Every structure is written in structure tokens, then in C-alpha cells.
Structure 1
Amino acid sequence: MTDRAVTVLLTVYAGVRAPHLREALESVAAQTRVPDELVVVADGPLTPELEAVLATHRPACRSRLVRLPRNLGSGPASQAGMAAVTGDWVARADADDVSVPHRLERQLAALDEAQAAGRPLDVVGAAMTEFSDAGDLAGAGGGRPAGRQVLGVRRLPSGHDAIAAYLRINNPINNPTLLVRAQAVRAVGGYRAVPFMEDYDLMARLLAAGCRFANLDEPLVLFRMSGETMKRRTGARILQGEWQMQRNLQAYGITRGWQRCRNLVLRLGFRLLPSGLLNRAYSALFRR
């Protein structure tokens, strides 16, 4: 395997539960291909419990902690983390999700395979297994499962052309599985403030800049679903983000006017569904 410097970038804010952060950090430390660097961004003041987790975590690689004076949100926090990254490649990790032990090893192998085939990649994602903890889906139409429950596997298109087509209607990369060339992110201006759509917006700009994408069919991340997860997919701010994102896609030359109108009707209709129906629609559309 070609030697590549990999930075894991993780952002955390006060709303994350301490046990979930601990589990996420332990999954990074347990990688069969140990990352070269871990960058953690504290997006505003954290709870004492979260501070205790950060204080006691001892990663096997070089680590940096970036502190923001107040909670700025995912985009600005991710951009602050990118400024501290020194690796050639950035692996995103959510503060409440779990990377399987061979995640980085498998994604780096995919880069080598593509390079050997003469089709080098800039972005590699993967499928992810969605699960809930006991009671986490209460209020989201999911009931109260008795213990950890696997909800399904979220797979997205795998080849570059299929990914490019899918990007016109939705983010084609499961962000907690993202491995991306750091220089490519910097070249397109990094993360920008698009409410709840920062990751999608970055993928759109990377595609417009000519970057090559792939998704692995193997689930490499365990993604924790909760009532809060579903709530974040509705509400006034995400409707604002949807509107801005569709304008951006047209500005980047990815969609046309009629596609923008179609996407707004479909995506806003999805967001406005009652919580129980939203959860069932999400399962039907995205879980396999």
C-alpha cells in the first residue's frame, strides 16, 4: 500500500453525549491502519463530561485540539479543522459514530487500486450501517427499541459517473465515511456556510472542479440514528439550506433551472412530512 499521510478530522459540540464521543475516539484509535494525525475541533464550550473524555483519550498518533470560542456550526468548525490538518488525506469522523477497525485500510487500498488502474481518485466514501441505541428514536416515529438496533445499511452509487448523476439530486457521499484529498478541498475553498448542507456543497464543488469519486459497497462506519437526527432533517433552517443548496448547484453548472425547481419540490416535500411518515420514507429511500 502506498504510504499516504492521513488526518482524521472530528468536530464535537456540547450536544454530543460523552459515551458516544469516547466510542468514536476509541474506534479511531483501533484502526488497523493507524492515522498519522487526529484533529478534534471543539465547536464552542463543551460539557465537563466531554472535556473529561478529551482529557483522558490517548491517541496512538499526533493529535491537535482546536477550540472555537462559541458554537459556530458544522461548516465553520470543519473549516477550522481543515486549517490545522497536515495530512495529504482527510478522513471525516462524527463525534457520535463508530468507524469499523479496517475502515482506513480498506479506503486506502481502494485509492491504490484506482491508481494502478490509471483512474486516480480524490474522494472515497463507503456504505454505513445505521443503528439506534435504546430509546434514541423516541419521538421520531421509531418507537423505543429494547437495546441497540440495526436499522439498515445506507448505500450510495459506487462508480464516478453514477455518483455525478446522483449528486444532482442528493449528496452522493455518506459524510462520516468520507476520505478526501486535502489539497482538493483547499483548492475549491473548503467548507462554506450552507445550513445543514455544508458537506453536500463541498462535494458539489469538488465534482465541478473535476475531482474523481468512488463509493465502497462495504459498510465501514456505524452511524448512530436518534430522534435528534431526524429533527435536524426538518425545520426552518434546513429549508433555508435546501433553497441555498439548489441555487449553488445551478451556479456550479451541475443542474439547470428546471432541475432546481424539481429538486426543491421533491426535497422540500420530503422535509415537510410528519415525523413518523418522514422516518418511514427515509427508510424506503435510503436503507437496503
Structure 2
Amino acid sequence: MVEDYSGLMSIYSKESPDLLRNAFDSILAQTILPKEFVCVLDGPIGLKLTEVVKWFKSECSNRNIKIVFVKNTVNCGLGVSLAEGLRACSYEYIGRFDSDDLNNPERMEVMLNYMNEDKNQDIAVVGSQIAEFSDSPQRLIGRRKVPISFNEVAQKVFLRNPLNHMTVVFRKSIILAVDGYKDMPGFEDYYLWMRLIDNGYKITNVPDTLVYAHVDGNTYARRGGIGYLRKELKFQYSVYSQNIIGTPTFVRNILFRGIVRLLPQKWLAGLYKLLH
């Protein structure tokens, strides 16, 4: 049983202090606590969030969890922040945590047990299923199921993101071997999964629902519009120019995913719920 791991989270100014506090509580309730927690402060975060972070630092100290702060002077975005945080992590196993989601108390125990099995030594990243909530995790409003076997992941990765980013645990050495996270707004994790598979590494998911993800009325709407279409085009061109995807897949993705980004917000939200 591997029990030593780093937790990794990025925080920026628009986080909800209440949701952040609840997310921290769910980390402190893990049956296997992190040995260290790397917290990237992506630009100034304001007084209220700072107070929550100070509280978490104190709670970590009480539990002998080393806390490491990486501070960006300005907001650099998730990809840059996670790249910096990854390099600051001391342990081979790293658990990604989001600032507004709730973790099942057994999340890390399940994940670490999975990664440590003899048959899974070639797994670079493992994720889990998620349930979605708005006001309370007792009132679920959706789920996002992702493929379990690597073969399924490899088949679907060129169509849609095969992992729930807020659930993953990965091996640091392998992530660094493909040059880690990149500045790819909206697609930081998806870009990483594609590069891993392109380099011959395996990623997969467990069937358990181990994270309760917070969504609001704008969660899906934020994935549409001209601005997000530009991000989509940048991402698709990047994986195409690196020969990760071929011309037929590139054209299909530009047409299908591009059209999706321009759908009215209500239609876009409905489509995402249908795909989940």
C-alpha cells in the first residue's frame, strides 16, 4: 500500500470562499491524508480566500501535512499554475484536487490501491466517475461517466475528454516525461491526456464515483461562444500539427466541436447533460 502522495490545487481570485472551505474539509477527511499539499495561488486572491487558506494551513500543520505555497504575482491560468505546482510536488503520486468540489473520504485510498496493484504498474493516470451538484451534494443534478478500460479510453480520446480532471491521480515522473501541463486554456488536462497516449502511456478510470463536482448555471454556458471556439481551434490545431490526430479527425472535430461551441447556451447545456 502506497500512502505517500502530494495533493495539488490551484486557486485564483474568483473562487467561492465557502466552496473552497468545503473542498479543503473533504481533503482533510480523507482516509489517507497527503504527506504534503501544494497550493498554487494564481495571482492575488483577496482577503476572504486568504483567510480560508490560512485556516487550511493551520489544519495541515495539526495533521503533520507539509503545505507548500507557489505564488504567481499575476493570474497565469490553470495550465501554467499546475505546471509550476507539479514541479513543487515531492512525491511520485500526485492527487489533483479542485477548489470547489467535494471528495469522497475514500477517494485517495481507492486510487492509491489501484495504482499500486501489480497489474497497474503501467498506468500513468487514473480517474473516477463524478456526480454533479449545485446547492448540495445531497441533491444531485447529473453525473459524468467516463470509460473504465484503457482500450475504451484510447478509442474515445479523440472525440471527447476521457477523464474527469478533478478526480485524477498520476505518477509525477511520467507526467514530466511528456513535459507536463501546458498553457492550453480550457483544455489543459485534455491536451496532457492526448500527449500521454501518443507517447505510449496508459490512462484509465475506476468505476467508483469518488468526487462530487460543483456546477452552476453558467458551467456549461462558459464552454460556448466565440471565445471558447477560439480556444477549441487552438487546441485542435496543436494536436493536429504534432501529428497526434490525423486530417480526418481534425476536420471532423473542427466541424462538429466548432458548431457545438456556437450553439445557444440552453442548447449547449442540454447537449452536455445528454452526453453525460
TM-score of the pair, normalised by structure 2: 0.93
Q: Percent identity?
A: 31
Match of 2:81 in 1: 77
* Alignment pair present for 1:163 and 2:153: yes
Deviations 1:112-150 (A, max 9, x none): 33x2x366311100000111128xxxxxxxxxxxx9631
One-letter amino acid matched to 2:271: A
* Alignment pair present for 1:31 and 2:30: yes
* Alignment pair present for 1:121 and 2:123: yes
Match of 2:183 in 1: 193
Structure 1, unmatched stretches of 5+, are 135-146
Q: 1:204 aligns with which of 191, 194, 207?
A: 194
Match of 2:174 in 1: 184
1:5 Cα deviation from its structure 2 partner: 2.6
SS class of match (2:220): helix
**Aligned equivalents of 1:4, 1:204: Cα separation in 2:** 28
**Aligned equivalents of 2:269, 2:203: Cα separation in 1:** 29
One-letter amino acid matched to 2:76: L
One-letter amino acid matched to 2:261: R
One-letter amino acid matched to 1:15: K
* Correspondence 1:142-153 to 2 at 5 A: 149-153=139-143
One-letter amino acid matched to 2:112: L
Match of 1:238 in 2: 228
SS class of match (1:33): coil
Match of 1:66 in 2: 70
Q: 1:94 aligns with which of 92, 98, 109?
A: 98
CA RMSD of aligned residues (A): 1.6
Q: Which moved more, 1:233-242 or 1:5-14?
A: 233-242
**Aligned equivalents of 2:133, 2:255: Cα separation in 1:** 29
Instruction: Confirm or deny: 8 A CA contact 2:5 2:93 kept in the other structure.
Output: yes
* Correspondence 1:48-63 to 2 at 5 A: 48-57=47-56, 58-59=59-60, 60=63, 61-63=65-67
Match of 1:13 in 2: 12
Q: Which contiguous aligned blocks of 4+ residues in structure 1 show a shift greater than 6 angstroms?
A: none
**Aligned equivalents of 1:97, 1:195: Cα separation in 2:** 20
* Alignment pair present for 1:46 and 2:45: yes
Deviations 1:225-272 (A, max 9, x none): 013322321233321221122123324433210111101111112221
1:276 Cα deviation from its structure 2 partner: 1.1
Instruction: Confirm or deny: 8 A CA contact 1:166 1:172 kept in the other structure.
Output: yes
SS class of match (1:53): helix
**Aligned equivalents of 2:183, 2:226: Cα separation in 1:** 16
Q: Which moved more, 1:73-82 or 1:242-251?
A: 242-251
Match of 2:255 in 1: 265
Match of 1:138 in 2: none
SS class of match (1:22): helix
Q: Which moved more, 1:213-222 or 1:249-258?
A: 249-258
